């Protein structure tokens, strides 16, 4: 029998919770933890004890009321007020738009309850249940008690419900504003990422087309090789640079085509290698970052050097991270500072927007000469961390 009653109670509790909003369910669970786990039930026992003590004092007054009657009546009144307050606290939305009607109706219902209670008390004592109607003093006492109790009951309930509804509306508006702000931040971050991606394309394409034009005007056979490598590059770059994420394999293909173009332009002044192990080939990474490092090495390291140099691109896994490294043997720190361009600043900005503090771009001098650039980022697919209000970092 106990198991059946418990199962029915649990089913009723689940239905009641399902009818509440998420904020209301949170408040109910918090009260439940406070009452049972944190000893809140002791407050209820204390209230009953204080009310019973007041009833004992009141029974000594000339009210023609025994201690038992006073204790039952006083505790009934206090516990009813407590119940109404809790009902208004957790079910405040039911009072929205109905508070005035409730304030009017509650005293009338309490008056009817007082008259019924007085009639029942007469039956218990074995007298006419309607005898108090013939006694104006007793009738006045019953009516006054019913109206006062009803008004107090409705006032407490209405006040709690009104304050809770105001709190609920303010919290709802705050959550809605946060949701709008989050969506705006996300859209702004995505737009900024797209703009940062597109900034690496025009400079390289214009330079390459200009080189092809110069070779064609001279009738050099290298023009055809240069255009062929450019076509390979565009085929690799077109899908990658327009997507939010690419793979290490796609980025490596684009780097091969790019360095092939640069070797056609620079000839023997450029040597290069690329290492891309199979265990990292399918790792998702932001597009265009690796080619920015390679372009930076060409522009600031190899081209200014009379004898040229070598570029080594190495991609590998270190623990849970992927490392993208570009090492060159160009002019190094003796030329213009390689880390001062917009390309590296864009890499840092994109890493911050996508990975937060979990990724980094490191720059250092190569040995015996040249420069090293290394990107470290998580191997797992990232969840964007939009923070458009944060100032942009510069390399």
3-state secondary structure of 100: helix
Q: What is the pLDDT of residues 229-272, one digit of tens each?
A: 777 776 666 555 556 788 899 889 888 888 888 887 788 899 99
CA triplet 150, 153, 159: central angle to 5 degrees? Answer: 130
Average pLDDT over residues 161-185: 76
How confident is residue 373, by pLDDT bands cut at 50, 70 and 90? Answer: very high
Q: Range(s) for CATH 3.30.565.10 in the chain?
A: 199-378
Q: What percent of the chain has pLDDT over 70?
A: 68
3-state secondary structure of 314: strand
331 touches 305 (CB < 8 A): yes
Q: What fold, for 199-378?
A: Heat Shock Protein 90 (3.30.565)
Average pLDDT over residues 312-323: 93
How many CB atoms lie under 10 A from the CB of residue 294? 22
Is a pLDDT exceeding 80 seen at residue 44? yes
Pick from 327, 291, 325: nearest CA to 309: 327
| pTM: predicted TM-score of the whole model, two decimal places | 0.46
């Amino acid at each position: 029998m106990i198991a059946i009653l418990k199962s029915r109670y649990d089913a009723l509790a689940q239905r009641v919770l399902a009818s509440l909003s998420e904020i209301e369910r949170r408040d109910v669970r918090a009260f439940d933890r406070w009452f049972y786990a944190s000893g809140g039930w002791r407050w209820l026992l204390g209230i009953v004890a204080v009310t019973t003590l007041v009833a004992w004092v009141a029974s000594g007054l000339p009210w023609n009321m025994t201690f038992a009657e006073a204790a039952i009546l006083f505790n009934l009144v206090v516990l009813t007020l407590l119940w109404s307050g809790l009902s208004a606290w957790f079910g405040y939305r039911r009072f929205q738009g109905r508070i005035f009607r409730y304030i009017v109706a509650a005293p009338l219902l309490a008056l009817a309850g007082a008259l019924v209670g007085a009639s029942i008390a007469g039956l218990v004592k074995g007298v006419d249940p309607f005898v108090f109607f013939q006694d104006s003093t007793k009738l006045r006492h019953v009516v006054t008690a019913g109206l006062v109790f009803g008004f107090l009951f409705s006032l407490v309930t209405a006040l709690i419900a009104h304050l809770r509804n105001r709190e609920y509306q303010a919290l709802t508006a705050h959550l809605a504003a946060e949701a709008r702000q989050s969506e705006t931040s996300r859209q702004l971050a995505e737009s900024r990422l797209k703009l940062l991606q597109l900034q690496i394309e025009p400079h390289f394409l214009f330079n390459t087309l200009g080189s092809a034009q110069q070779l064609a005007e001279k009738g050099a056979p290298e023009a055809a090789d240069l255009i062929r490598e450019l076509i390979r590059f565009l085929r690799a770059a077109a899908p990658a640079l327009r997507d939010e994420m690419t793979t290490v394999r796609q980025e490596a293909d684009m780097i091969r085509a790019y360095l092939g173009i640069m070797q056609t332009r620079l000839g023997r002044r450029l040597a290069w290698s690329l290492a891309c192990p199979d265990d990292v080939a399918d790792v998702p990474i932001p597009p265009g970052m690796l080619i920015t490092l390679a372009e930076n090495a060409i522009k600031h390291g190899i081209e200014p050097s009379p004898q040229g140099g070598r570029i080594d691109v190495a991609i590998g896994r270190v623990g849970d991270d992927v490392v993208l490294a570009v090492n060159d043997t160009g002019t190094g720190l003796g030329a213009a500072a390689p880390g001062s361009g917009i390309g590296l600043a864009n890499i840092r900005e994109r890493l911050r927007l996508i990975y937060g503090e979990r990724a980094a771009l490191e720059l250092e001098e190569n040995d015996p000469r040249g420069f090293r650039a290394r990107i470290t980022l998580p191997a797992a697919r990232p969840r964007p961390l939009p923070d458009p209000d944060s100032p942009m970092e510069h390399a």
